[in-house]
Amino acid sequence: MKDEKVQERWIQHYSSRHQILLVGEGNFSFSASLATVFGSAHNMVATSLDSRELLEEKHPSARANLQLLEQLGCTILHQVDATAMMRDPRLDSKLFDRIVFNFPHAGFIFSESDPFQIELHSNVVKGFLINAYEMLRESGQVHITHKTAHPFSKWNIEDLAEDVGLDLAEKVVFSLYQYPGYINKRGHGSRSDETFPVGECSTFKDSTTFSSLAYGQANGQAEVNNRTILHGLKTCLEGAKGTWADELLYILWAYKTTSRVATDETPFNLVYGMEALIPIEILANSPKLMAYKEDNGGGNFEALRENLDLIEEQRDYVAMRMIAYHRRIVGYYNSRVRNKTMEEGDLVFRRSTVTNALKDDGKLRANWEEPYCIQKLVGPNTCILLTLSGETLGKT
């Protein structure tokens, strides 16, 4: 209520009315820049991976920014890992309109063009996107600001977002001057507090595909639909494959008039606000058919109009059911994951999207490359690989 009376203020893509989560902050100057324009930071949660002590040691200027943010009512959290934040009890069940990670970076281990270094970065970004997806409000956006020239373009941010079900809504050119007071930091190593030239750089604005009720291609829903339709065709044709075009209309009709598990509604009802009369109801004299009276056309018409008035509410309800369904699936999937710790000498596959070496093979490309042997573990879920002929990958 209090916020409603205060005038809305904007800075670039951010409004004082948005609930904003900022992760991987350096000296918190980006958060401070937004809060200064808003005149308040009650709508912001600003976080860093480092503890407060380490952060202030790395970035002496962080102290003043943190003080300002605290005065303006910002929630400040430290030791927030962007790749595991959805399970952080301090952020539990909070949903946001904007989740922002500026210049994500896994640290300087190898050169930036080394595939292994790119894999480390991609893991951070992907982990962040998976978590952010779960913490977004409907029509919220995840923003990653990132350099776009080589070798940073090889992180393939768009593909990483698509892999987790996010859609690139827009990619906009980023400039430091858009955020007065913001000083981007390297954040790692002995030169943590130094800034770096951002060069060619963009903010990737990804949104969820909850809107996919209207646009199936957005989240793989189209592929699910196609699979269902194909299944229907195969069942009908029983080997007479040449006649598939004749059957397609019937299959589509059956598809559109059958309720889906995720929505508990038929696609037909969600579009037209009423259920279709299917042929069997005519043959079997269904109650719906019996109750219909030709001379009661006016009453029917009124009832249909009422249905149309309620359809928006019904669609909202279905959107919520889809989110709940998605969460149930994620929970089910996660509960089946068996944690496996890797050891040196283990044989492993590598996701082909990491190097993109097989991208020319298109949709039919294999998801995994080689078996490799783990030469050295350098961190949790991170290792140096050997090919089976004994060649070390990357720089190692």
User: What is the token pair recorded at 161?
Assistant: 């977002």
- In the complex, the smallest distance separating the C-beta of residue 152 from ligand SAM, rounded to whole angstroms, is 11
Taking CB under 6 A as the criterion, the residue among 41, 62, 97, 104 binding ligand SAM is 104
- Which one of the spans 23-31, 212-220, 285-293, 334-342 is the region binding ligand SAM (CB under 6 A)? 23-31
What is the rounded distance in angstroms from the CA atom of residue 194 to the CA atom of residue 178?
A: 20
Residue 289 has φ and ψ, to the nearest 5°, of -70, -40
Kindly tell me which of 51 and 67 has the beta carbon lying closer to ligand SAM: 51
The single-letter code of the amino acid at 109 is I
Query: Maximum Cα–Cα distance for the chain, whole Å?
Result: 85
Site for ligand SAM in 114-153 (CB under 6 A): 124
End-to-end CA distance of the chain: 58
* β-pairing verdict for 382-386 and 136-147: unpaired
Kindly tell me which of 51 and 387 has the beta carbon lying closer to ligand SAM: 51
- In the complex, the smallest distance separating the C-beta of residue 50 from ligand SAM, rounded to whole angstroms, is 6
Does the footprint of ligand SAM cover residue 25 (CB under 6 A)? yes
Kindly tell me which of 32 and 318 has the beta carbon lying closer to ligand SAM: 32
Kindly tell me which of 106 and 374 has the beta carbon lying closer to ligand SAM: 106
Helices (H), the chain: 2-5, 29-38, 52-58, 62-71, 115-134, 157-163, 221-237, 244-256, 267-272, 279-283, 287-291, 297-335, 352-355
Residue 227 makes CB contacts below 8 A (sequence gap 6+) with none
Residue 269 makes CB contacts below 8 A (sequence gap 6+) with 275, 314
Helix, strand or coil, per DSSP, at residue 44: strand
Kindly tell me which of 112 and 370 has the beta carbon lying closer to ligand SAM: 112
Taking CB under 6 A as the criterion, the residue among 16, 122, 184, 212 binding ligand SAM is 184
Kindly tell me which of 81 and 370 has the beta carbon lying closer to ligand SAM: 81
- Which one of the spans 2-10, 79-87, 313-321, 377-385 is the region binding ligand SAM (CB under 6 A)? 79-87
Does the footprint of ligand SAM cover residue 185 (CB under 6 A)? yes
Does the footprint of ligand SAM cover residue 105 (CB under 6 A)? yes
What is the rounded distance in angstroms from the CA atom of residue 61 to the CA atom of residue 183?
A: 10
- In the complex, the smallest distance separating the C-beta of residue 390 from ligand SAM, rounded to whole angstroms, is 32
Q: Catalog residues that contact ligand SAM under the rule CB under 6 A.
A: 23-26, 30, 49-50, 81-83, 102-106, 124, 184-187
